[in-house]
Amino acid sequence: MNTPSLQKPWLKDFVLLAAIWGSSFLFMHVGALAFGALPTAAMRVMIASLFLLPLLLVRGHGPTLRKHWRATFLVGLTNSAIPFACIAYALLSITTGLSSVLNATVPLFGALVAWLWLKDRPHGSRILGLLIGFGGVALLASGKASFTPDASGLSTGWAVIASLFACLCYGISASYTKRYLSGLPPLVTATGSQLGASLGLALPAWWLWPAQTPGLQAWLAVLAVGVLCSGVAYIVFFRLIEHAGPARALAVTFVVPVFAIFYGVLLLGETITWWTVGCGLVIVMGTALSTGLVRLWR
């Protein structure tokens, strides 16, 4: 009799990827508090570039990257530079758990952008899913967002907007990749995008670099988010797509908040409310329907 692990050899990668990406909110939070949002985002993509580039060259993809550098560098702005900066900014005033729940709307925005840009019109339960998903976002935002500045001049309202804008950028980059980068080796797209994001964030990060050098904990956090949550995660993600297919790989987004909330409660002393959990379930339900992972009818 086959065991579940043998029947589904991709399951370990699925859980591993969810655990890794769940930790990214923790590391980004620690880094952003010490370095600031833009320097943290910049170091994440720069470290990931240094990790991925040798792998790309060893596999002989250097000529392919040179041929398609413009397109891959451009997607790096919308797939890494802007969203990472937005998430780092948001984590200065909202919890890692809330940020991860909002991040679960990435497939929702991806479906919406594909509809508007690629004319991939949803039908049946997918339309219902869009309505349910964005309704869950509205409920969550209404209970958590406030535009009243705190002592540091930040507000949860702008943090929620920044998180959702990051998800919109992910959705745009997904459609851009499908339209202009189809057929490229995933490692080429990943490495090129991280290099492009590094170039885009280098000057703002230098300009906003903190006057006081952060401590060892902050440096370890940005090293972890660069190597583990970007470099290693890309490799696991591409392997998951190969072994389990894109639909199952996409579903990892639903599990990431579970790990992020666990890390936040255990290591940062954060609290999670039933309102956040309930709205998160509504968002996940809508996302599953809108992406076609779950269908009520055709």
Q: Answer with the residue of higher pLDDT: 43 or 6.
A: 43
- Higher local confidence (pLDDT), 279 or 4: 279
**pLDDT of 21 strictly over 60:** yes
Place 234 in a pLDDT band, splitting at 50, 70 and 90: confident
Q: Is the pLDDT of residue 298 over 70?
A: no
- CA distances (Å), 75 to each of 10, 44, 96, in order? 28, 16, 26
Q: Per the structure block, which two tokens stand in for 253?
A: 């987004």
Contact 127, 134 (CB under 8 A): no
Task: Work out the mean pLDDT of the chain and round it to a whole number.
Answer: 87
Mean pLDDT of 194-201: 96
Contact 146, 156 (CB under 8 A): yes
User: Do the domain assignments include residue 183?
Assistant: yes
Is residue 5 in a domain?
Answer: no
Is 80 part of any domain? Answer: yes
Helix axes 37-58, 233-244, angle to 10 degrees: 60
Amino acid at 31: G
**Tell me, what amino acid is at 57?**
L
Which tokens belong to 55?
Answer: 């792998």
Residue 295 lies in a domain: no
Is 125 inside any structural domain?
A: yes
Residue 1 lies in a domain: no
242-280 confidence digits (pLDDT tens): 777 665 676 787 788 889 999 999 999 988 888 888 988
Q: Is the pLDDT of residue 128 over 90?
A: no
Determine, yes or no, domain membership for 271: yes
Confidence at residue 39, expressed as pLDDT on a 0 to 100 scale: 97
Total domain count for the chain?
A: 1
Angle, CA 64 vertex, CA 20 and CA 73 arms, to 5°: 60
Q: Which domain holds residue 131?
A: 22-290
Residue 74 placed within a domain = yes
**Buried/exposed code over 208-237 (b: 16+ C-beta within 10 A; e: otherwise):** eeeeeebeeebbebbebbbbbbbbbbbbbb
